[in-house]
């Protein structure tokens, strides 16, 4: 069956022209029957059995008029997708005239989270697309709700010729069609949705977010709360009652809420949401952090045959099936095989070839290293506290020159000050998904195996529209590079002190910058393969191997160690 329902729409943040009028796409009042509806709404699919059927409905009591469109989702197989689209009256539409698209939706509670996705699409006259994923709580709520999707939050569709570009490839001044896409993420997805009154609007409604933060039963004051949007970062603080409020946000736009107080971690941690109502409440619970404090304490992990150092609390990208403390420590001198799964159509076995032991000074167990990677590829192992600021982090990295990777490469990174990341699912750079603000961003030394280059760089937190094969143009700032001539172990080191960030490889300074964008955050070991999109490609990825990890404070932390700093 096809994928979940997607309503996609595309638009950048442009101010609408004075006097712009709202544009009706469809109110479904002028059709005679299902056949009449099918003339205007064109159906298409990509492989697999049909999974989306649509009808004119006069029984659901829509909020305006008598008729709406019924979408019957019946998907026996996952990954195939179905689309519906219709021309926009008075096309081509110039999205510069509008702020958002709105529509009403009646959901189905049988469509559980993770079973399907729903998106809105906009097409230009050349068939290029921009889109927005419908928040899941709309899809599953069995009552009429109005959805407002801010056009500047839409992203380019990455399955056409523009895949991976850092600029939208659709012409936003030449939009001719609007529509829906349905994709099933599992087999046998079934449900019914209803849609009515689709409009482009020229004024974006305001919204506010409020909430309370407590420690146990005690209000927690002076907590800085960030509201991170795609084009701005706002902040406020809790008062003596533990309350906070943001009053100048907008409906239809996605934000990440991130509370921070030195010495504390918060649940639910970073919260991503698209503002659906005028007022949204998000509460947090704070507790003293259990993670290692890199601002005050030195940590080390030789990655030996005993596994990870139990004195260091690691965490990682949990959706790939391993928590941080379960990452394998392997004998790097022998070959290892692992199973490749999603997103390939069939599983395959990949080979991680044996390499030389670590010859660098201080490698107490040179034949062992921690392996970072998964059956899907990208993965991150994080340590340190979310509020750490002034620390160094150092690790030995195996850098492999690769000319056998067909159109792709491996990226191996040491990260510092990862920005506003969920402790349980951190991602230094983006995975290629279209989720808003998916990556956390931060500073890093990154090695890319096809170029044989090590980059001192800063990743942007909104780099999620970059294709995995691309070089993140527009989503990363490079401060310096170092070339390597052969395979081998290199020692990466990043030093953060106030606004000063130093990048060092094998004792040589690659870059020294003054930058204040990321002033706090944990450290990370990161791997990501950039691969072509065909079944079986992940068998080429070699994962990352790290050894001899060290981290600790950069500033004076006690009166008796000031001479050392």
Q: What is the pLDDT of residue 474?
A: 54
Report how far residue 293's alpha carbon sits from residue 296's, in angstroms, rounded to the nearest whole number. 6
Q: Which two tokens stand for residue 348?
A: 């395959």
Tens-digit pLDDT profile for residues 103-149: 999 999 988 877 888 899 999 998 888 888 888 889 999 999 999 98
Report how far residue 405's alpha carbon sits from residue 541's, in angstroms, rounded to the nearest whole number. 8
pLDDT band at 319 (very low <50, low <70, confident <90, very high): very low
pLDDT band at 449 (very low <50, low <70, confident <90, very high): very high
The answer to whether the CB of 1 falls within 8 A of the CB of 77 is yes
Helix, strand or coil, per DSSP, at residue 546: strand
Q: What is the pLDDT of residue 404?
A: 72
Q: Which residues contact 364 (CB under 8 A, 6 or more apart)?
A: 302, 304, 548
pTM exceeds 0.85 for this model: no
Q: DSSP states of 189-216 as a string?
A: EEEEEEEEEEEEESSPPEEEEEEEEEET
pLDDT band at 356 (very low <50, low <70, confident <90, very high): very high
Tens-digit pLDDT profile for residues 178-235: 999 888 878 888 999 999 999 999 888 899 999 999 999 999 999 999 887 766 779 9
Average pLDDT in the chain: 83
Q: What is the pLDDT of residue 217?
A: 94
Q: What is the pLDDT of residue 397?
A: 98
Report how far residue 266's alpha carbon sits from residue 240's, in angstroms, rounded to the nearest whole number. 18
Q: What is the pLDDT of residue 313?
A: 93
Q: What is the pLDDT of residue 67?
A: 97
Q: What is the pLDDT of residue 58?
A: 96
How many percent of the chain have pLDDT more than 90?
51
* Residue keyed to tokens 């040589």: 508
3-state secondary structure 330-352: EECCCCEEEEECCCCCCCEEEEE
Stretch 284-306: mean pLDDT, rounded? 96
Compute the half-sphere exposure of residue 457: CA atoms within 13 Å on the CB side of its CA: 27
The answer to whether the CB of 529 falls within 8 A of the CB of 407 is no
Report how far residue 360's alpha carbon sits from residue 364's, in angstroms, rounded to the nearest whole number. 9
- Please, which residues bridge with residue 414 across strands? 445, 525
How many percent of the chain have pLDDT more than 70?
80
Report how far residue 88's alpha carbon sits from residue 200's, in angstroms, rounded to the nearest whole number. 10
Tens-digit pLDDT profile for residues 476-500: 889 999 999 999 999 999 999 999 9
């Amino acid at each position: 069956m096809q994928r979940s329902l997607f309503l996609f729409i595309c638009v950048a943040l442009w101010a609408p022209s004075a006097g712009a009028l709202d544009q009706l796409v469809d109110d479904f009042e002028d059709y005679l029957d299902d056949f009449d509806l099918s003339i205007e709404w064109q159906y298409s699919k990509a492989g697999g059995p049909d999974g989306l059927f649509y009808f004119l409905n006069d029984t659901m009591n829509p909020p305006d008029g008598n008729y709406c469109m019924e979408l019957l989702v019946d998907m026996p197989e996952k990954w195939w997708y179905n689309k519906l689209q219709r021309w926009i009256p008075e096309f081509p539409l110039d999205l510069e005239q509008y702020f958002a698209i709105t529509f009403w939706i009646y959901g189905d509670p049988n469509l559980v989270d993770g079973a399907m996705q729903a998106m809105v699409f906009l097409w230009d006259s050349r068939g290029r697309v921009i889109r927005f994923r419908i928040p899941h709580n709309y899809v599953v709520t069995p009552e009429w709700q109005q959805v407002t999707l801010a056009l500047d939050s839409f992203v380019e569709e990455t399955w056409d010729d523009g895949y991976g570009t850092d600029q939208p490839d659709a012409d936003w001044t030449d939009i001719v069609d609007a529509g829906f896409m349905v994709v099933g993420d599992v087999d046998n997805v079934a449900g019914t949705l209803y849609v009515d009154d689709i409009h482009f609007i020229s004024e974006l409604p305001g919204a506010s977010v409020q909430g309370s933060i407590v420690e146990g039963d005690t209000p927690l004051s002076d907590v800085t709360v960030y509201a991170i949007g795609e084009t701005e970062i706002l902040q406020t603080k809790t008062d003596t009652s533990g309350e906070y409020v943001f009053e100048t946000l907008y409906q239809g736009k996605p934000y990440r809420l991130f509370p921070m107080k030195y010495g504390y971690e918060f649940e639910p941690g970073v919260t991503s949401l698209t503002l659906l109502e005028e007022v949204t409440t998000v509460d947090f619970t704070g507790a003293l952090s259990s993670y290692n404090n890199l601002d005050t304490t030195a940590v080390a992990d030789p990655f030996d045959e005993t596994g990870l150092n139990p004195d260091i609390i690691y965490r990682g990208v949990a959706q790939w099936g391993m928590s941080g403390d379960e990452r394998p420590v392997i004998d790097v001198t022998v070959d290892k095989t692992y199973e490749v799964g999603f997103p390939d159509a069939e599983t395959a076995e990949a080979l991680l070839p044996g390499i030389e032991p670590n010859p660098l000074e201080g490698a107490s167990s040179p034949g062992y290293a921690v392996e970072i990677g998964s059956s899907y590829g990208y993965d991150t192992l994080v340590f340190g506290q979310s509020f750490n600021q002034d620390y160094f982090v150092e690790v030995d990295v195996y850098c492999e020159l690769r000319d056998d990777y067909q159109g792709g490469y491996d990226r191996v990174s040491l990260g510092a000050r990862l920005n506003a990341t969920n402790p349980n699912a951190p991602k230094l750079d983006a995975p290629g998904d279209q989720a808003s603000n998916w990556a956390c961003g931060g500073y890093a030394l990154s090695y890319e195996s096809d170029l044989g280059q090590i980059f001192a760089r800063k990743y942007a937190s909104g780099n999620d529209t970059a294709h995995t094969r691309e070089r993140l143009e527009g989503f990363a700032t490079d401060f310096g590079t170092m070339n390597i001539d052969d395979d081998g172990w290199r020692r990466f080191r990043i030093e953060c002190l106030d606004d000063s960030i130093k990048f060092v490889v094998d004792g040589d300074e690659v870059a020294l910058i003054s930058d204040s964008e990321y002033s706090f955050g944990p450290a990370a070991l990161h791997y990501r393969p950039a691969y072509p999109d065909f079944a079986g490609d992940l068998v080429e990825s070699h994962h990352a191997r790290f050894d001899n990890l060290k981290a600790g404070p950069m500033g004076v932390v006690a009166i008796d160690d000031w001479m050392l700093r």
